[in-house]
Structure 1
Amino acid sequence: MSYKVAIRSFKTLSYLGSYKKIRDRPIRYYCAAVLGAGYVAYKEFKRNKAEMKELIYLKNYMAEPITPLHQLQKNQDDMKTQMELLIMRIQAEFCRALEKEEDEAWEDEKTADDYDFDNDIFLPSPEAKFKVDRWTRKEGGGGITCVLQDGRVFEKAGVNISVVSGRLPPPAVQQMKSRGKNFESKELPFFAAGVSAVIHPRNPMVPTIHFNYRYFEVKDKNEVHWWFGGGTDLTPYYLNEEDAVHFHLTLKHACDTHDPSYYDRFKKWCDDYFTITHRGERRGVGGIFFDDVDSPDQDSAFSFVTSCAEAVIPSYIPLVKKHKDDAYGYHERQWQLLRRGRYVEFNLIYDRGTKFGLHTPEARYESILMSLPLNAKWEYMHEPLPNSAEEKLMKVLKEPRDWLNIEKPKSTAA
């Protein structure tokens, strides 16, 4: 224990009684009090440090926070504040990481001096940046939608945050009840904050990624119910096993920091959730997915979600760098468009987030449907050729794989 922490510990002893009372007790009680107070002081220091970690990023966000800054500073202990600051930071960091890939993609391109044309002809320098759209809703809150389109690396990339409040209508309440949430009121005051991103790359050798992390509060009579949800999953067009292992291993490290059982449990949840039931196939090679997480306590659950959100960039950007300049042709492009059609089918038919968003009063449809690709394709009764790279992917989509070889072998009968 450092000198400053020890001094702070003595000041904290007031929570345990006066110094005089402790002084007359056996030395073990005194030591226990000092250590206990020091632990409380240390935890308070760590918590305040975590709060400041979010606050110092205010100037770097994609737009002004939805909640007024003075309210965020006043209510730093509130989980609603902490979640809003987290998703603002994650949005900005991810957007800038994607823009950096676009900027680097043009560094080796020809400039105006490399072309043979008249000097009076102007050749613009292409740039792909996120369009930032900050919006509000009358009922409460709003969001920040960031979309990049027609880039050299990313055909369409959307990174959204929303911080909304109001009263849930009966359809939204019914959807929650179908997941086991037992509420007595028909309309419920609620607060929801989350970040959601879907990235559709131009090169078919670069996979699509989706992630979403959210926090929800509902007030039913005089009781406040809260929970976290989210996940990150990968949708390749061509299977690269090394990429899948890297992706899953990064997510496992994020999970293991908090609970060694998380990855295995949430990996299976992801495989089961992102299933296109009517086709009998998964949307991609999985990742992690969870919902209704409200244990062991609020701070621990928030810390877990933070680790998962911070794992997105190291899980995905290396794959972009690795494959963004890979060669491909017309055949690969057509397969990419067909797989994007499957992505659309899942999002419009099965995705709970899309359904919930459309049921929310004053729903902002442009932001909700941001996840849809710029281009997609459907063909009647399409089947990949036997022993092709496309068929190799389909086998994994129909039978999820244990990418990290951690599943326990099934016992066989003697």
Structure 2
Amino acid sequence: MTPDLFGRHRAVLPDWLALYYEDPLEITHGEGRHVWDAAGNKYLDFFGGILTTMTAHALPEVAKAVGEQAGRILHSSTLYLNRPMVELAERVACLSGIPDARVFFTTSGTEANDTALLLATAYRRSNTILAMRNSYHGRSFSAVGVTGNRGWSPTSLSPLQTLYVHGGVRTRGPYAHLDDREFTDACVDDLKDLLGHTRAPAALIAEPVQGVGGFTSPPDGLYAAFREVLHERGILWIADEVQTGWGRTGEHFWGWQAHGQNGPPDIVTFAKGIGNGMSVGGVVARAEIMNCLDANSISTFGGTQVTMAAGLANLAYLLEHDLQGNARRVGGLLLERLRAVAARVPHVREVRGRGLMIGVELTRPGSDEAAPEAASAVLEEARAGGLLIGKGGGHDTSALRIAPPMSLTVAEAEEGAAILERALRSV
């Protein structure tokens, strides 16, 4: 980024609008798994615009669909019939696993979660929400109100009463020393105890893998055990699949499927990858829940023809090229490669994740104390080596986040791992 553009950015945009790097980067174009900056430097992209470039940069199939649709009509709102929106809704409803599903499209994951909270509280006639510690659900007033990550929650004011449940972080907290079965049992007991001290909540909202929280997750089956407790009391389960959906975790198409022993969630939210960079989010719910609102509503920009065309083309490419399988295979190789690297780097506390959703948590050597300055240093060194990654975590942003486009090749995975190894060793 040129100094002039950086200065202009700071003059007109909010101070709290975060920028990566001491010398912020202006990305001008991309292709496949690579992007270029304004100075002509080429980077291997292991973050995909925060898990949004799901298939590839400048994917011809998506670019063609957007161009053709833009040449006809861009937008008409939900007040008129919209063929691309109906077609994408049919595909998403079928893929969701939710019986008698209805789909509502939004422009972002934040808005999707906001809608899910509206539906759940209206359906249950309760403004109490259960959420997970270390969670992140967006930047709207209601989404911030259920976010359990202090670094992304700027106010305690909220239209909701939020109660936080333990279990989203496997390797920290009072139950970290337990095995998976004991950990799950302890979290279920904690949930039952919490429910004994409050009026009936509307829903539990949970990310199957906590994204901003540093790609942490509970043992498989924990949310199924939670669901059993919730179902007995009529409490809904909202799965926030904004970062985990569409096969990114490799093993499953949806993150909730690692916890699906008792059936699908009542509500699923999605966004990011489905549009491959276009503004697409949405909510899937059983008809009785989706249709519970007794007032008129519209979405001016949710489900526009051009974003729906992008989503249809992108989803078709993902399914036809088995990118879920690629995420499982290439992600598994990358995960093992990074674990081998971590064994030789004292700063690395844990390498975790599944598929192409990998977190590397950094601490001060010999302790569990977070090392955010180390994470920032690795971010800078990786960029200098030609690799873009992200960071996050509930412990002072000390986790590196790795989530490349799901078409990543084995050679690119090895190249990225080698750059990251050099960056980690430089700390």
What TM-score bracket applies, with the shorter chain setting the length? under 0.3
TM-score, structure 2 as length reference: 0.23
Larger of the two Rg values belongs to structure:
1
Normalized against structure 1, the TM-score is what? 0.23
